[in-house]
């Protein structure tokens, strides 16, 4: 293939981890018209009523038409558009499908974006979006007990019920990720303050290597083991002066500084804002690299 | 990859078309210890009771865990072994899974082996095994009304019920096939006599080109259109002298003559026997070509 293909990004994580907010913010930073989003929940193979009838949760792969999803991922990578199914969380059933164009960035977010190796190998970046249990419970109660009309007890019971499936069908993706982004609660005066931990495979630590090039920042990565694979963990739990963040982001990718400028005009950057900027800059860098590859191929074909 | 990978063969077709018999006979000709077989029915995502509860047939892709299947196909192609699920048609539920080794030939047979493009692109040969309605009905009644205890009326009602799903989810694979093998009834003294029609894409007619090289055989291919694609149809409805068949099969592949010798010692070859020999010889030829490619790569890496 000599035409430009999308950068494919997979974001895996439990429901309630905050994936959709992350995706919306990333899309805004990259340019909404340059991003297509696939919500994997659309590929449920059974609606809510049918899942009840056979007593399985939506977390189980067999409650999902992942064959169709893998085919769509494959086609998007080849630059084709696909008609993706849409699941409606309010009705528990399906809405009309929608066309997804192969825009410069295609972000897939859901429970099983890279559970299977064949899918994992198609992405340019695989992010596992992990959120500390305490934050997840807090957010889920906030959403489901207010917007969706459940009691706090019901929400907690639901969380417990899903644990087995999460361990078996969502968390195995941790070991496949290029980067794990974990939000954790801070003991801060503000209750919504969160810290961010990046975990990267020790044999391919993108962020760690970038940080080492910057004298303003001293990194002390911790070691971690996930699914038999060594990871390095880098933690951000404090506000960072915007000047330091600027140096950092200029190292990250071609538009790092510009991206930071879109995020804040304050003199300090909070950990979550920094994480957003780092991810967006990394994606811009991948896009640029891909364009260069295709240009190079184009030239060698022509002359 | 520089290690040898399996030849992957997909055989699609409706249940009752005779796929399992074909696979068993092909495996015997190629050498049972050189062939691994995957029955796609093992990848049903719902057992019989669950399908009833949500009112879908096993023919619907959403009643199948095709994501897991595509992943297994991908892994086998890379030379890995996989643990494949097993469906039991008697109990309507699942037995213990079994390991499948990446032997020289991996044959996948079932309802949806190349329904999705991502799967279709992984095979070395895609066969759509089609059987004339009259033969299918005859065989299905024979099997289900005797061995499985249904009445003839029940069998016919079941056949009618499945038509919609077959049109939508099995037959689209006709247009993806490298070769369509269709059995049809003959007006012959023997009631089990069948003719065989090969249909091949007009832009890649393997059999037609082989036949044209042989002066003993005159071929008059008919044109056919399937799913917007032009096919050439070659029909065998008579017994062929074994000497002619021998010349034909020697053209087909490196072991064509030997394969014919395994099939018959009679002076004539019946159309179904000829079809078997043609398919087995073609697969041997693909295997040889693949071995040569890997040997070639091996040499270029070393020297």
pLDDT computed for residue B297 by the predictor: 66
pLDDT tier at B302, thresholds 50, 70, 90: very low
pLDDT computed for residue A101 by the predictor: 96
In angstroms, what separates the C-alpha of A42 from chain B's closest C-alpha? 13
The boundaries of the domain holding residue B64 are: 1-128
**d(Cα B170, Cα A254) in Å, to the nearest integer?**
48
pLDDT computed for residue A300 by the predictor: 42
Looking at the predicted structure, is the pLDDT value of residue A250 above 70? yes
Containing H/E element for B53? helix B48-54
Domain annotation covers residue B102: yes
Looking at the predicted structure, is the pLDDT value of residue B20 above 50? yes
- From the list B50, B73, B119, the residue facing A54 with the nearest CB is B50
Domain annotation covers residue B264: no
**Average pLDDT in chain A:** 90
At B7 the three-state DSSP class reads strand
Looking at the predicted structure, is the pLDDT value of residue A1 above 50? no
pLDDT computed for residue A297 by the predictor: 66
pLDDT tier at B17, thresholds 50, 70, 90: confident
Q: What average pLDDT does range B144-165 have in this prediction?
A: 82
First to last CA, chain A: 17
pLDDT tier at B301, thresholds 50, 70, 90: very low
In angstroms, what separates the C-alpha of A167 from chain B's closest C-alpha? 18
Question: Which chain A residue is nearest to residue B67, measuring alpha carbons?
Answer: A67
Backbone angles phi, psi at B105, to 5 degrees: -125, 130
Question: Are residues A50 and B54, on separate chains, in Cβ contact within 8 Å?
Answer: yes
Question: Are residues B62 and A62, on separate chains, in Cβ contact within 8 Å?
Answer: no
Distances (CA, A) of B274 to A59, B190, B211, B240, B279: 49, 18, 13, 8, 9
CATH number of A106's domain: 3.40.50.300
Question: Which chain B residue is nearest to residue A118, measuring alpha carbons?
Answer: B71
pLDDT tier at A191, thresholds 50, 70, 90: low
Residue B198 DSSP symbol: E
Backbone angles phi, psi at A300, to 5 degrees: -65, -25
pLDDT computed for residue B300 by the predictor: 42
Asked which of A156-165, A242-251, A271-280, B200-209 is least confident by mean pLDDT, the reply is A156-165
Looking at the predicted structure, is the pLDDT value of residue B63 above 50? yes
Distances (CA, A) of A230 to A144, A166, A200, A226, B154: 36, 22, 8, 7, 59
pLDDT computed for residue B153 by the predictor: 87
Question: Which chain B residue is nearest to residue A77, measuring alpha carbons?
Answer: B118
Distances (CA, A) of B136 to B60, B159, B173, B195: 20, 10, 18, 14
pLDDT computed for residue B290 by the predictor: 94
Question: Are residues B71 and A45, on separate chains, in Cβ contact within 8 Å?
Answer: no
Looking at the predicted structure, is the pLDDT value of residue B191 above 80? no
- Going by C-alpha positions, the residue among A73, A83, A74, A48 that lies closest to residue A63 is A48
In angstroms, what separates the C-alpha of A204 from chain B's closest C-alpha? 21
Q: What average pLDDT does range B60-68 have in this prediction?
A: 95
CA angle (A128, B97, B66) in 5-degree steps:
55
**d(Cα B108, Cα B120) in Å, to the nearest integer?**
12
- From the list B50, B54, B66, the residue facing A67 with the nearest CB is B66
Q: What average pLDDT does range A121-134 have in this prediction?
A: 95
Asked which of A21-25, A117-121, A130-134, B155-159 is least confident by mean pLDDT, the reply is B155-159
Q: What average pLDDT does range B120-131 have in this prediction?
A: 97
**Alpha carbons within 13 A on the beta-carbon side of A182:** 18
Containing H/E element for A285? helix A271-302
**d(Cα B68, Cα A98) in Å, to the nearest integer?**
25
In angstroms, what separates the C-alpha of A83 from chain B's closest C-alpha? 14
pLDDT digits (tens, 9 = 90+) for A29-82: 999 999 999 999 999 999 999 999 999 999 999 999 999 999 999 999 999 999
pLDDT computed for residue B48 by the predictor: 95
DSSP A140-156: HHHIIIIIS---HHHHH
pLDDT digits (tens, 9 = 90+) for A161-187: 888 899 999 999 999 999 999 999 988
E strands, B119-278, are 125-131, 179-185, 194-201, 222-226, 229-236, 240-241, 268-269
Backbone angles phi, psi at B128, to 5 degrees: -100, 120
Question: Are residues A66 and B68, on separate chains, in Cβ contact within 8 Å?
Answer: yes
Kindly state the tokens that stand for A10: 């997979």
- From the list A45, A118, A121, the residue facing B45 with the nearest CB is A45
Question: Are residues A62 and B45, on separate chains, in Cβ contact within 8 Å?
Answer: yes
Domain annotation covers residue B198: no
Domain annotation covers residue B64: yes
- From the list A67, A116, A117, the residue facing B116 with the nearest CB is A67
pLDDT tier at B172, thresholds 50, 70, 90: very high
**d(Cα B121, Cα B251) in Å, to the nearest integer?**
27
Q: What average pLDDT does range A83-104 have in this prediction?
A: 96
In angstroms, what separates the C-alpha of B50 from chain A's closest C-alpha? 6
Question: Are residues A70 and B116, on separate chains, in Cβ contact within 8 Å?
Answer: yes
Question: Are residues A64 and B67, on separate chains, in Cβ contact within 8 Å?
Answer: yes
pLDDT computed for residue A295 by the predictor: 75
- Going by C-alpha positions, the residue among A238, A135, A234, A142 that lies closest to residue A192 is A135
Looking at the predicted structure, is the pLDDT value of residue B3 above 90? no
Question: Are residues B66 and A64, on separate chains, in Cβ contact within 8 Å?
Answer: no
Q: What average pLDDT does range A235-250 have in this prediction?
A: 92
Question: Are residues A46 and B62, on separate chains, in Cβ contact within 8 Å?
Answer: yes
pLDDT tier at B133, thresholds 50, 70, 90: confident
Kindly state the tokens that stand for A101: 């164009």
Three-state SS for A159-215 is HHHHHHHHHHHHHHHHHHCCEEEEEEECCCCCCCCEEEEEEEECCCCHHHHHHHCCC
Looking at the predicted structure, is the pLDDT value of residue A159 above 90? no
**Share of residues in chain B with pLDDT > 90 (%):** 69
Looking at the predicted structure, is the pLDDT value of residue B252 above 70? yes
Q: Report how many domains make up chain B.
A: 1
**d(Cα A179, Cα A203) in Å, to the nearest integer?**
12
Asked which of A51-55, B146-150, B283-287 is least confident by mean pLDDT, the reply is B146-150
Domain annotation covers residue A124: yes
In angstroms, what separates the C-alpha of A46 from chain B's closest C-alpha? 8
**d(Cα A283, Cα B11) in Å, to the nearest integer?**
41
Burial of B1 (0-12, 13-18, 19+ CB in 10 A): exposed
Looking at the predicted structure, is the pLDDT value of residue B298 above 60? no
pLDDT computed for residue A187 by the predictor: 80
Contact list, A108 vs chain B (CB under 8 Å): none
CB B199 within 8 A of CB B127: no
CA angle (B90, B93, B97) in 5-degree steps:
105
Q: What average pLDDT does range B140-161 have in this prediction?
A: 81
Domain annotation covers residue B12: yes
Domain annotation covers residue B151: no
- Going by C-alpha positions, the residue among A106, A146, A151 that lies closest to residue A124 is A106
Question: Are residues B116 and A62, on separate chains, in Cβ contact within 8 Å?
Answer: no
Domain annotation covers residue B57: yes
pLDDT computed for residue A3 by the predictor: 58
CB B183 within 8 A of CB B136: no
Question: Which chain A residue is nearest to residue B43, measuring alpha carbons?
Answer: A62
Kindly state the tokens that stand for A45: 């193979």
């Amino acid at each position: 293939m000599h035409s430009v293909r999308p950068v494919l990004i997979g974001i895996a994580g439990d429901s309630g981890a905050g994936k959709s907010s992350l995706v919306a913010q990333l899309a805004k930073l990259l340019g909404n018209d340059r991003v297509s989003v696939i919500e994997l929940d659309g590929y449920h193979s059974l609606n809510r009523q049918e899942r009840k009838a056979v007593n399985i949760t939506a977390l189980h792969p067999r409650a999902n038409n992942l064959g169709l999803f893998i085919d769509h991922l494959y086609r998007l990578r080849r630059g084709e558009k696909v008609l993706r199914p849409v699941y409606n969380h309010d009705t528990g059933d399906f809405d009309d499908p929608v066309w997804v164009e192969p825009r410069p960035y295609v972000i897939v977010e859901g429970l099983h974006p890279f559970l299977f190796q064949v899918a994992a190998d198609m992405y340019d970046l695989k992010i596992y979006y992990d959120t500390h249990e305490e934050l997840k419970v807090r957010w889920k109660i906030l959403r489901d007990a207010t917007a969706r009309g459940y009691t706090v007890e019901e929400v907690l019971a639901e969380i417990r019920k899903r644990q087995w499936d999460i361990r078996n069908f969502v968390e195995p993706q941790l070991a496949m990720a290029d980067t794990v982004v974990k939000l954790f609660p801070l003991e801060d005066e503000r209750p919504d303050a969160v810290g961010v931990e990046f975990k990267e495979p020790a044999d391919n630590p993108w962020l760690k290597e970038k940080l080492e090039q910057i004298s303003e920042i001293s990194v002390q990565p911790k070691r971690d083991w996930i699914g038999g694979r060594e990871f390095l963990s880098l933690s951000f739990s404090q506000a960072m002066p915007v000047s330091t963040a600027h140096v950092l982001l200029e190292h990250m990718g071609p538009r790092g500084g510009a991206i930071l400028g879109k995020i804040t005009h304050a003199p300090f950057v909070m950990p979550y804002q920094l994480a957003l900027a780092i991810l967006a800059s990394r994606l811009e860098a991948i896009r640029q690299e891909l364009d260069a590859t295709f240009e190079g191929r184009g030239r060698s074909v022509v002359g």
